[in-house]
Chains A and B, each alone.
Chain A
């Protein structure tokens, strides 16, 4: 048994083996591991007594589930109505161009995942982008590029700080 399987075991202990707990369990697995692997899904489906095909159906139906490992940093651009009217789509287009990935994809160096969200409910400060859970009010390409450089610097500092990395 791998360490990640053991972690999943611990999560599964918190849920009774019933189909209604599948979504909660998958959410916890994703919170812990960043995404849901084939193996993790198999364990979750067995534990909650849901056929694998249906567990997969659930994971692909809901937008928040991720079946591939995410990048180190996530940039989420809100496309709620207020953000749309204030140029949210331009931000997505700009970031897409800059990172050379489509929304939902991760850069080859696994640094950034670009995603869109339907409304984070922060309409008063539109357009909003969320970089690693930090909300950016009145986001512009310039501000976001600055923020991206900042997080890249942080990551490289971290790597350089670990001699064996």
Chain B
């Protein structure tokens, strides 16, 4: 879409050295006028779903229709997810850096006429700080962005992910060129060891140590060795890896090539969830572009080092995020995990030494090689270095993707960046770590968000999903939700997991129906221990965590379900009734018309009533009532 690609039009040129890359970048930069106006439209999934594509189409159409009186025609750029999903579609005007939110196609004409042509700011489209009521013009002044430290996400939202030149101008492939020209593979490994980088996929195993073990395994067994990207981001509520793959695919690729160079691998794999078609597309484009420019494939940057990579689309199995299951899946078999009595760095893909890291981990590698392990380890806290990307979702004002240094207090993320719970009440709990993690209650809001502190609190970092819960969310229901999820996703190979998760869920079903007993709580804990000790892989052994942490921190809520037959959050269907407040109901008949079982009666303009016996508690009446007259009791 841009005027920078004159070099591309002459056909792809192979870059032969670091010098070549630098010259090429300078040439690209010369073609760019930093003061040239540019309209940047977020094309992350959140913004696309709220109409981002219609906005960018409208901009293109308006510009095409010409009639524009600007001295220069602005460029349009579509980028990956800018993170602030709850305010989408997002539009950024450069060079001024004006941040417009909730933009609709009908706003486009005004944006071009006023902001682009006359340099005026449209007040209505600015973000309003809910605390101060102030309108904020620039992205970096918005609290959601102000308290972040965007390192891995740095380029996302700035570059067009399908344009290699954009990536190169943002510093892409600098680290690779540096490593191939000035560093030995051993020095690359040392730099990663020095950085203290821990795997971002869940367990937090130090990446450098993993690479070192692989080198030792190679000494014993020889090559080939494989490098693999785990892009099977299955934790519900997590979309960090998706955003990185969609928004900056070259960073993932560059990290992987660096790893391959360090370990002497010639073949690598990108295992990406099938539910992420855009990520697969962008990675595919990135690979082609990198190959065409001598950054991937044979004799990379004329260094003599060759490496190529293939994409494997996942086929819909959460368990394939587990390393051994992921390997069997790449081999073309059902993703049943294998016992890890021999580590996968020694015996991974096809029984060969294999280094598997997740997307975010790989995307950190170019930063470390470019700026040094010493620089990297100063970010964050001593045992958890660097930054971590979180998807902040649930009952929080600013839903979106945030990147912060490790070790920040939980409350800073939820309250300062996330803007707290809608309505201003304190949050009830934050669920971290996905189905393998746990719930951290408000009383532990000062918990530092790093690998070890979260584990100590009974939860875990996981891949970085952070789900904020408020008083209307029931912990028994949440625990049941995660068990149901894992029950469906368990591969079923080992019995503690295949039988145990269903049986635990059945016990929890009892609680949500008011049938639980104190002995059930004891059984849940004992069975949880059996599953933790007995399950074959990490999916099973971590599956009881949501149950155990909710019992640990919210036992009184479990007891309310069994002693008082009451779901305090008003969620568990068997324990609630829907009623219409006769004071608030004005008899508009909307609910009666929509009720799927016809159990709401009442004349026009008269208060309605719900027949409790027939009500199936689907909640459609509550959803359709414009007067908030339907109450859950």
Contact = CB atoms under 8 A, between A and B. Distances in A.
Interface of A: 18-24, 26-27, 48, 50, 54, 57-58, 61-65, 79-82, 84-85, 87, 90, 93-94, 97-98, 117-126, 128, 135-137, 140-142
B238 interface: yes
Contact of B50 (A19, A65, A137): A137
B387 interface: no
Interface string B426-449: 000001001000000000000000
Contacts of B330: 20
A135 B329 contact: no
A65 B314 CA distance: 11
B589 to A, nearest CB: 15
A122 B45 contact: yes
Given A90-B618, A119-B236, 12 more contacts: A54-B333, A58-B332, A65-B316, A82-B467, A94-B620, A97-B596, A119-B238, A122-B46, A123-B391, A124-B399, A142-B594, A142-B623
Contacts of A94: 596, 618, 620
A126 to B, nearest CB: 7
Contacts of B391: 123
B237 A119 contact: yes
B473 interface: yes
Nearest to A65: B315
B471 to A, nearest CB: 12
Contacts of A79: 236, 485
Contact of A124 (B85, B318, B618, B624): B85
A123 B237 contact: yes
Nearest to A78: B236
A64 B313 CA distance: 11
Given A80-B237, A85-B473, A140-B623, A120 B275 contact: yes
B176 to A, nearest CB: 28
Q: Which of B236, B334, B335 has the most CB of A within 10 A?
A: B236
30 contacts: A22-B332, A23-B332, A48-B332, A54-B333, A58-B333, A58-B334, A61-B336, A61-B491, A62-B315, A64-B316, A65-B315, A80-B237, A81-B478, A81-B482, A82-B393, A82-B467, A85-B395, A85-B467, A90-B619, A98-B596, A118-B318, A119-B235, A119-B238, A121-B238, A121-B276, A123-B393, A124-B46, A128-B49, A140-B623, A142-B623
B393 A126 contact: yes
B469 A85 contact: yes
Question: Closest 5 interchain pairs by CB?
Answer: A124-B85, A63-B316, A62-B315, A121-B239, A64-B316
A91 B329 CA distance: 32
Contacts of A63: 315-317
